[in-house]
């Protein structure tokens, strides 16, 4: 069984790889945040316009409590 050694990267190469990984993770987190915000908005909008769509949640009551409308 052969032992595979990790390549010997220079300091600059390691820094570039780390920056690329951080950029990828930030993109993933931003995508997840946008997904949650958009889907929460649609869920809330559906609950207001179709109160029978979700019997456990009434969006009009939430709107009154949050926005005083």
- The overall longest dimension of the chain from CA atoms, in Å, is 71
Q: 25-62: per-residue pLDDT in tens? A: 999 999 999 999 999 998 888 877 876 666 556 666 66
Give the number of other Cβ atoms within 10 Å of residue 10's Cβ: 8
Assigned domain for 18 exists: no
Assigned domain for 15 exists: no
How far apart CA 67 and CA 30 sit, in angstroms, is 27
Q: Tell me the residue range of the domain where 41 lies.
A: 27-69
Helix axis angle for 11-49 and 59-67, nearest 10°, is: 110
Assigned domain for 13 exists: no
Q: What is the pTM of this model?
A: 0.60
Which of these, 38, 58, 36, 56, lies nearest to 48 by C-alpha position? 58
How many domains in the chain? 1
Assigned domain for 43 exists: yes
Assigned domain for 16 exists: no
pLDDT at 44: 82
């Amino acid at each position: 069984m052969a032992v595979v050694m990790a390549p010997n990267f220079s300091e600059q190469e390691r820094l570039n790889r780390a920056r690329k990984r951080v950029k990828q993770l930030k993109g993933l987190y931003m995508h997840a945040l946008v997904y949650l915000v958009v889907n929460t908005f649609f869920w809330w909008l559906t609950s207001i316009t179709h109160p029978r769509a979700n019997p456990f949640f009434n969006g009009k009551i939430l709107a009154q409590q949050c926005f005083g409308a």
